[in-house]
Structure 1
Amino acid sequence: MSAFLSADYWNQRYINNAAQWDLGRVSPPLKAYFDQLTDKDIPILIPGAGNSYEAIYLLDHGFTNISVIDIAPAVIQPLQEKFKNQSAIRFIQTDFFDWEGKYDLIVEQTFFCAINPDLREKYVAKMASLLSANGKLAGLLFNRQFEGGPPFGGDKNAYQVLFKKYFQIDIMAPCFNSVPPRAGTELFFKMSRKK
């Protein structure tokens, strides 16, 4: 397993506050997307969710079936304790690639950029396997390169090639409402699993 996927690696990143992409709040493009969703009972998965601002936003806005997975106990255990009496949300410490289930919406928010790029094809296949027949994969991808990593970057053309085997890309476009430090460097996307 890549060191970038190990529980110990990510645990230490969170313990040492070294997750520099953590915004401290829900990402504005995802907030705007969530705000237009009407069915609040759909099963939602947020993998590699870290401090889970998006999940908590969904919970606070009446969504009833939210699953959050992350490999790092340093983030999952406090959230499990904090939300232990909330039946609408569950926090699971596990490796994304070992997870099973079916979801109508999977949210991508800085998980893709955190995994070793060698695992991107495996990521795409796994995402497709977790989506229900009419499910959507939606979220944000960095449209830029980084030195070293994680985070690991990429560009729109490479993403389109990567996802097209399993997904119909409904939208992949530059964000107009990114936080200022990310302005011009994020793509919002929404995809459907190919039939």
Structure 2
Amino acid sequence: MNASFWDERYREGRAGWDIGEPAPPFVEFLQEQDAPSFGKIVVPGSGNGHDALFFAAKGFEVTGFDFAPSAVSTSQKRAKEMGLSHQINFVQQDIFKLPNPYKGSFDFAVEHTCFCAIDPGLREDYVHAIHSLLKPGGMLVAVFYTHGREGGPPFSTSANEVTQLFSTKFEIKRLHPPKRSHHQRAGEELFGLLHAKPL
């Protein structure tokens, strides 16, 4: 699936994965007593920008990558309307072909609906790509889609698969169903905190 596949869905209003708000598990995470309050965040597959803009509004410096030009344009417009253009940068980019200057630049990566959108055969490459973007000890904050249905996108995953794939490059600190989910995703998500292992 190339950029035009995703761009067509955004342009035609068929982005069914877009819940129109930041993922509730991220909101809950930043309400925790020991939650981080600053740092550089990368959001792969940032879509219409709901999660990226949420973290930017909380004071983080955010970069969002998306394949689809329409999604990037919408996100940039929303950032300007919200007065967050100085906090956030949206870039049209394939996350598997990121330029070297982005490597090792981020304290956090925020995953929501990118991992489930890519071909499952690319999931090991995804793990490598995210790890390469993080500083040593950086953290992946993730919501994984575990709907259990055949086919995709969105392609389902499981706690076992996440553990198997990510444990090669990450130390899994937390991986559990979130207390809060969007009503369309209730019972079909895992929230994860994964620390990047040293190279």
Normalising to structure 1: TM-score of the pair?
A: 0.91
Structure 1 runs (4+) greater than 6 angstroms displaced: none
Which residue is equivalent to 1:50? 47
Cα deviation digits, residues 46-90 of structure 1 (max 9, x gap): 010101111111222232x11011010011023334435721110
* CA-to-aligned-CA distance 1:140-194 (integer Å, 9 cap, x gap): 0012323321100011111111111111100101112112221111000000111
Q: 1:73 aligns to what?
A: 69
Query: Does the 8 Å contact 2:9/2:15 carry over to 1?
Result: yes
**1:26 CA drift (Å):** 0.9
1:138 aligned counterpart, secondary structure:
strand
Q: Is the 8 A contact 2:24 2:181 kept in 1?
A: yes
Q: CA deviation at 1:98?
A: 1.4
Following superposition, the deviation at residue 34 of structure 1 comes to 2.7
Quote the Cα distance in structure 1 between the aligned partners of 2:75 and 2:184: 27
> What is the Cα deviation at residue 20 of structure 1?
1.1
1:121 aligned partner: 124
Q: In structure 1, which of residues 108, 113, 116 is the aligned counterpart of residue 111 of structure 2? A: 108
1:148 partnered with 2:151: yes
Q: CA RMSD in A?
A: 1.5
Name stretches of at least 5 consecutive residues in structure 2 with no aligned partner: none
Does the 8 Å contact 2:37/2:58 carry over to 1? no
Equivalent residues in 2 for 1:1-195, closer than 5 Å: 3=1, 6-36=2-32, 37-40=35-38, 42-63=39-60, 65-83=61-79, 86-99=85-98, 100-101=102-103, 102-195=105-198
Q: What is the one-letter code of the residue matched to 2:7?
A: N
CA–CA distance in 2 between the matches of 1:179 and 1:88? 26
Amino acid at match of 1:123: Y
Q: How many residues align?
A: 189
Contact 2:44 2:66 in 1 (8 A): yes
Residues 19 and 147 of structure 1, relative CA distance in 2, 3 Å threshold: farther
Q: TM-score, normalised on structure 2?
A: 0.89
Between the two proteins, what is the percent identity of the paired residues? 35
Gaps of 5+ in 1: none
